[in-house]
Amino acid sequence: MKQKFAVQLYTLRNECEQDFPGVLRKLKQMGWAGVELAGLHSYSVEEIAEVLKETGLQTAGIHISFQRLTTDLESVLTEARLLNTSTLICPSVPHELRNEEGYQQFHSQLNEIAKEVQPGGFTISFHNHAFEFETSVNGMNALTYILEPSADNAVLAEVDVFWVQKAGQDPAAFIRPYSRRMPTMHVKDMSDDERQTYAEIGTGVIDFDPILIWGEQNGVEWYVVEQDVCPGNPMDCVQLSLTNLHQIAERIAANT
């Protein structure tokens, strides 16, 4: 399992702006197996691909905006090939589409794109927040609608367990329908106080054991740590999350 831990680089966006290659080298030294990209921070895709090759870090996927997926798909696929990944993730729904009709339009377009890229070996996943639970579409919340595990739906899941918890749902229960439909999962903890804000893995209220056990049994390829806001130095935060993830993985291995 330890070779499935990656960090979403949005967590380290400010550090990457200053020295993207240096951040990648430090992450490899920490023991991360992969990274999930969210922008290139003024570097060329060729430059970043070269540093990834140098360090041995794998690309766990790329977050690509809905706008780019709909208007710049060929360039996106070229970048993905250079970065050695087939996993494309749409990170959010545009604000103007966050209503019942908008979600239907969004899903229809994303599903068409997902089917279009399938012959080339690519997949499209959707990453959630909590707001999708607030809108009903066809008698279900918008997230369940977008991720419906049917043969006709090519949109895969990148469930963010923090946001599921934030919406008042049980993450371990919510992910169950998406067996073999979730190549990547977002993991971050929730603080054990009235703020219910972002926390390093293992320091909050989310029980990751059943989540990771399910992931190992149901085809999750990468567990991606994304901490939107860090209370201290973000590099220290991701180090703590990785240390605790390794301990959880060791505990699971010892009990199975």
CATH number of the domain within which 30 lies:
3.20.20.150
**C-alpha to C-alpha distance for 76 and 58, rounded to whole angstroms:** 18
Cα(192)–Cα(64) distance, rounded to whole angstroms?
32
Q: pLDDT tens track of the chain, all 256 residues?
A: 999 999 999 999 999 999 999 999 999 999 999 999 999 999 999 999 999 999 999 999 999 999 999 999 999 999 999 999 999 999 999 999 999 999 999 999 999 999 999 999 999 999 999 999 999 999 999 999 999 999 999 999 999 999 999 999 999 999 999 999 999 999 999 999 999 999 999 999 999 999 999 999 999 999 999 999 999 999 999 999 999 999 999 999 999 8
Amino acid at position 58, single letter: Q
Identify the sign of the CA torsion 137, 142, 146, 147: negative
Residues 6+ apart with CB under 8 A from 82: 45, 46, 49
Q: How far is CA 168 from the centre of its chain?
A: 20
The token pair that represents 115 in the structure block: 């089917």
- Identify the domain containing residue 120 by its residue range: 2-254
Give the helix ranges, DSSP H, for the chain. Answer: 13-30, 45-55, 66-71, 73-82, 100-117, 142-146, 161-166, 171-174, 208-217, 234-254
Q: What is the pLDDT of residue 256?
A: 80
Residue 93 has what pLDDT? Answer: 98
Which amino acid makes up residue 151? A
Structure tokens at 65: 């905006």
- The SS3 call for residue 118 is helix
Q: Give dist(CA 156, CA 148) in Å, integer.
A: 9
Tokens of 28: 């490899």
- Whole-angstrom Cα distance, residue 138 to residue 147? 13
Count of structural domains, the chain: 1
One-letter identity of residue 179: S
